[in-house]
Amino acid sequence: MKQLTEVVRVSTRGKGLYPITREIERWVSSSAVQTGLLTVFCQHTSASLLIQENADPDVVLDLADYFERAVPEDDPHYRHTSEGSDDMPAHIRTALTQTSLSIPVIGGRMALGIWQGIYLFEHRSSPHRRGVPLHLIGE
């Protein structure tokens, strides 16, 4: 049994879903692990991870639009406003999504469905550089 780690760096341009499947696929393929479990983790409290459809780009646009309506900026009920009007909504959006994913590795590949892709979901308006550690255990 072996364990490997890597950190994927994602430069965002502001709010939105950023595909990271290819970078992760390349790393898993290079690991020579045939059977195992991959953990993908987001090191931030204002960004998150999603496994979502990767065939129709309207899906991720609709998701981003939905979160804009569901968790709006400038809500007068927010106490945490010192880091900008987008910060507290970013924390709420992260709480409603995921910061960690577990993906089986079978036959040396992630066992994602045919239409599934992995996305970093940036919840802040300004550009950020996000760290996404990967941990793979298997043989």
pLDDT of 61-86, one tens digit each? Answer: 999 999 999 999 999 999 999 999 99
Please identify which residue in the block is written with the tokens 């880091």. Answer: 83
- Torsion, CA 125, CA 66, CA 113, CA 24, rounded to 10: 10
pLDDT of 54? 95
- Cα 25 → chain centroid: 14
Domain limits at 51?
A: 2-138
For residues 18-34, average pLDDT: 98
| CATH code, domain with 122 | 2.60.120.460
pTM for the model stands at 0.96
pLDDT of 73? 95
The rounded mean pLDDT for the chain is 97
Contact call for residues 118 and 41 (beta carbons, < 8 A): no
pLDDT of 48? 98
pLDDT of 66? 98
Number of domains in the chain: 1
pLDDT of 107? 98
For residues 110-123, average pLDDT: 98
